[in-house]
Structure 1
């Protein structure tokens, strides 16, 4: 099969996003007026939608409840062009949810994640979908997956015929799920707080060096509005600034990190990273993230920033 038409398989969280934006600074212990918006989210799902809108064939492997929210989530994914044929639908369970309380400027004040269904994405569940995984062009897994499932993915990725594996962190609390041995991981995407939580050091370079010593080939550390660092030749860190976005243009930061991760995955899938290195792909990924914070949508419909950079 031509690698250019093989799909990206995204494994992990899919949920309903509820975004509550306060009208004034939060007053603890009091009722705070908010505006509310509901959309679909989850790291794996958001990455999948960004890729699908960029013209990439995508399969989503996740779990939803047999409820109205789960049906709506799957219908929406299908409209975006995402293959959901192998999604686990669980009876008598609620589809996951992510509730974000946003400050008046659109920055995140507090987030509450109900992702219990992801615990049903076990190694046995993964084994039942092994054919889809083996025939993918790229596997993208978020750390909502149980530790055993992540370990099984990493173990399988060592095989010479296995597709490249990208791991995307989701929170500082879930960094404990990252396997100790990471040989076979093509790319790990995480933010600075998640890196500190895993490595136990504030020094980004030291944390990245420890990840590479554990076996990760490349690491991208996101730094919010500052930009990102990516590993370069010989493991050296390369800093790339984010596009400048005026504070008054920021609408909602939800989904920006997932948009950036999708841009990185697109660069691997398209061959841009192999041809040009990480910097051009990171530039476009940062543009995608900047567009996302300026939109009320978790995933920006315009897919242009995922297009490969002409050589």
Structure 2
């Protein structure tokens, strides 16, 4: 597999990024309808193509808060990949650390949403999985750090990476000094975060269903779920539950808050917006309760459509 540096690398790397966003960087193809859909339904609506992927969604929101995120991911050297890199740069994201391969196509995510939210989705992130640890080279070759001088800034990490790579990161010397913030990407990938529970590393951002999968049980509320995750080894965790009470727990404290009531117009990317807003609030000096409130407000604005895609 041959790879070349991302275009514009020299100019883009003149200033260190504020945060690294590691994981899926792809095109979101989203179909939305004002109708209620059933299996086999064929309804009118709108179809859009937007930059997406968990790591990219987080990075875009972080840039809106004035931070300079860098992307570590795999993007093909196809036309879709060139378009995606150009759009990411336009949005203020650092693309010079991307792994770009001649042999891997740019990943895609396809979803359908109706008035009730997400109907179905398919994530084609095979190129990210195939690239594996190659996307982490800047953290070991001295570009961003190495085993002797590890990167010591914040890292937003998503569960679209393979189980083996996530397990490697949990104990990787290149992440020893990093402030790890981790999201599972989807309920189907929640159990990929188990190495971080075992290692007691990082801050986990999960929803109620994902918390249940990690604990192998079902929870009725976010506060109980957050406390259970800490009991299983998590250093710190935030558990969301749609429009219901959200909770944060650590080994010393648990707090909770309710999100603002809004009209839901979309759901894709809400969790990513919540995580990014929380990280940005804490980097700006907000306390735990204030950071949680800001994150919930940002996620509510996203699902209501107040923040443009």
TM superposition score normalised by structure 1: 0.83
Aligned mate of 2:130, from 120, 145, 167? 120
Shift of 1:157: 6.9
Contact 1:256–1:298 (CA under 8 A) maintained in structure 2: no
Q: How many residues align?
A: 285
- 1:260 lines up with 2:274 in the alignment: yes
Higher mean C-alpha displacement, 50-59 vs 124-133:
124-133
The SS at the match of 1:242 is: coil
Equivalent residue number for residue 35 of structure 2:
24
Can you give the 5+ residue segments of structure 1 that lack an aligned partner in the other structure?
A: 300-311
Equivalent residue number for residue 280 of structure 1:
290
Contact 1:126–1:149 (CA under 8 A) maintained in structure 2: no
Equivalent residue number for residue 308 of structure 1:
none
Contact 2:223–2:256 (CA under 8 A) maintained in structure 1: no
Aligned mate of 1:168, from 179, 183, 188? 183
Equivalent residue number for residue 147 of structure 1:
163
Q: Deviations over 1:114-173 (max 9, x none)?
A: 1111213423542453342633520110000112221222213797x6021111121111
Contact 1:65–1:92 (CA under 8 A) maintained in structure 2: yes
User: In the TM superposition, what are the counterparts of 1:173-192 in structure 2 within 5 Å?
Assistant: 173-182=188-197, 183=199, 185-192=201-208
- 1:243 lines up with 2:247 in the alignment: no
Shift of 1:63: 0.8
Taking only aligned residues, the RMSD between alpha carbons, in angstroms, comes to: 2.5
User: In the TM superposition, what are the counterparts of 1:1-311 in structure 2 within 5 Å?
Assistant: 7-103=18-114, 105=115, 107-130=117-140, 131=142, 132=144, 134-156=150-172, 162-182=177-197, 183=199, 185-203=201-219, 204=222, 207-231=225-249, 234-236=252-254, 238-245=255-262, 247=263, 250-272=264-286, 276=287, 278-295=288-305, 299=309
Contact 1:157–1:184 (CA under 8 A) maintained in structure 2: no
**In structure 2, distance between residues paired with 1:36 and 1:297:** 18
Do the aligned partners of residues 214 and 92 (structure 1) sit closer, same or farther apart at CA in structure 2, a change above 3 Å counting? same
**In structure 2, distance between residues paired with 1:13 and 1:200:** 26
Higher mean C-alpha displacement, 123-132 vs 145-154:
123-132
TM superposition score normalised by structure 2: 0.83
Shift of 1:291: 1.1
The SS at the match of 1:102 is: strand
**In structure 2, distance between residues paired with 1:71 and 1:186:** 33
**In structure 2, distance between residues paired with 1:35 and 1:111:** 16
Q: Deviations over 1:58-81 (max 9, x none)?
A: 111011122222111111111121
